[in-house]
């Protein structure tokens, strides 16, 4: 529990694949607990690895990190890891938000699906979303990042010089779906600025 009991008004949605676990950990270690903010992460991992990934991040950061499960309330200063092999979305529930973890859809090529998670937060009308697409091959997350940007959110791609594999972020950059390109070491600071209203 965060201890603040405030409504979530900003969601940081992070997507990553190859090289992502270390990159995600680096961001969370430097990212302070932020009022009215929650983090949701889709990292391409098998189903038997995401729970331990969440436990490791919980121990290494100031955030309360949990593996997402259906019905779990999204709370401020908490981070939710999409479980491997499943499709995770964030949905509105009255005045709050909850995790919805479902079987994969036929269109899902990668699991957890970054596109599905990003698209779900883009549909939320009462929160502002910052989408962050990190290292990885393929194009999962590119359309989701577009959805976040088109819904009024803010889209970030990791810079090529720090991405272990500059596939997903490069495709987002080339498609023009990105507001800022930021190297890994500067991401936590920029996310803090954005969440505190310093655009």
Gap between the Cα atoms of 92 and 22, Å rounded: 30
For the stretch 113-127, pLDDT in tens is 999 999 999 999 989
Question: Virtual CA dihedral for 24, 30, 33, 35, nearest 10 degrees?
Answer: -90
Query: What's the pLDDT score for residue 1?
Result: 37
Separation in Å, CA 93 to CA 38, 124, 197: 16, 10, 26
The answer to the question of residue 179 being in a domain is yes
Q: Is the pLDDT of residue 193 over 90?
A: yes
- Mean pLDDT of all residues in 189-199: 87
The answer to whether residue 179 is catalytic is no
The answer to the question of residue 4 being in a domain is no
The enclosing domain of 36 has a CATH number of 3.40.50.180
For the stretch 6-36, pLDDT in tens is 689 999 999 999 999 999 999 999 999 999 9
The answer to the question of residue 138 being in a domain is yes
Confidence bin at 5 (pLDDT 50/70/90): low
Query: What's the pLDDT score for residue 182?
Result: 98
The answer to the question of residue 149 being in a domain is yes
Set 17, 61, 113, 120: catalytic member: 17
| Among 85, 91, 23, residue whose Cα is nearest residue 51 | 85
Q: Where are the beta strands (DSSP E) in 44-148?
A: 64-67, 78-81, 87-93, 96-102, 128-133
Gap between the Cα atoms of 162 and 59, Å rounded: 24
The answer to the question of residue 178 being in a domain is yes
The answer to the question of residue 1 being in a domain is no
The answer to the question of residue 86 being in a domain is yes
Set 58, 115, 140, 166: catalytic member: 140
Range of the domain at 98: 10-195
**Of residues 101 and 47, more confidently modeled:** 101
Query: What's the pLDDT score for residue 2?
Result: 41
The answer to whether residue 120 is catalytic is no
Q: Which residues contact 38 (CB under 8 A, 6 or more apart)?
A: 8, 10, 11, 12, 74, 75, 76, 77, 78, 79, 80, 97
Summary mean pLDDT of the chain: 94
Number of domains in the chain: 1
For the stretch 140-191, pLDDT in tens is 999 999 999 999 999 999 999 999 999 999 999 999 999 999 999 999 999 9
Separation in Å, CA 189 to CA 36, 93, 96, 195: 17, 31, 27, 10
The answer to whether residue 44 is catalytic is yes
H runs (alpha helix) in 61-167: 114-122, 142-150
Separation in Å, CA 82 to CA 22, 71, 120, 150, 159: 16, 13, 13, 23, 24
Gap between the Cα atoms of 45 and 49, Å rounded: 6
Gap between the Cα atoms of 157 and 187, Å rounded: 10
The answer to the question of residue 16 being in a domain is yes
Half-sphere exposure of 3 (CA within 13 A, CB side): 5
């Amino acid at each position: 529990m965060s201890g603040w009991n405030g409504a979530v008004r900003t969601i940081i949605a992070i997507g990553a694949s190859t090289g992502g676990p270390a990159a995600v950990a680096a961001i969370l270690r430097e990212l302070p607990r932020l009022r009215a903010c929650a983090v949701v992460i889709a990292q391409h991992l098998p189903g038997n690895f995401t729970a331990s990934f969440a436990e490791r991040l919980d121990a290494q950061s100031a955030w309360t990190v949990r593996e997402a499960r259906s019905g779990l309330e999204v709370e401020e200063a908490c981070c939710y890891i999409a479980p491997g092999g499943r499709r995770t979305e964030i949905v509105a529930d009255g005045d709050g938000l909850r995790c919805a973890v479902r079987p994969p859809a036929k269109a899902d090529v990668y699991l957890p699906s970054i596109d599905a998670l990003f698209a779900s937060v883009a549909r939320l009308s009462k929160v502002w979303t910052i989408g962050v697409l990190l290292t990885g091959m393929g194009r999962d997350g590119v359309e989701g990042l577009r959805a976040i940007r088109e819904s009024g959110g803010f889209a970030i791609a990791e810079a090529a010089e720090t991405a272990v594999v500059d596939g997903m972020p490069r495709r987002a950059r080339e498609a023009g779906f990105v507001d800022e390109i930021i190297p890994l070491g500067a991401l936590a600071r920029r996310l803090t600025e954005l969440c505190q209203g310093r655009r």
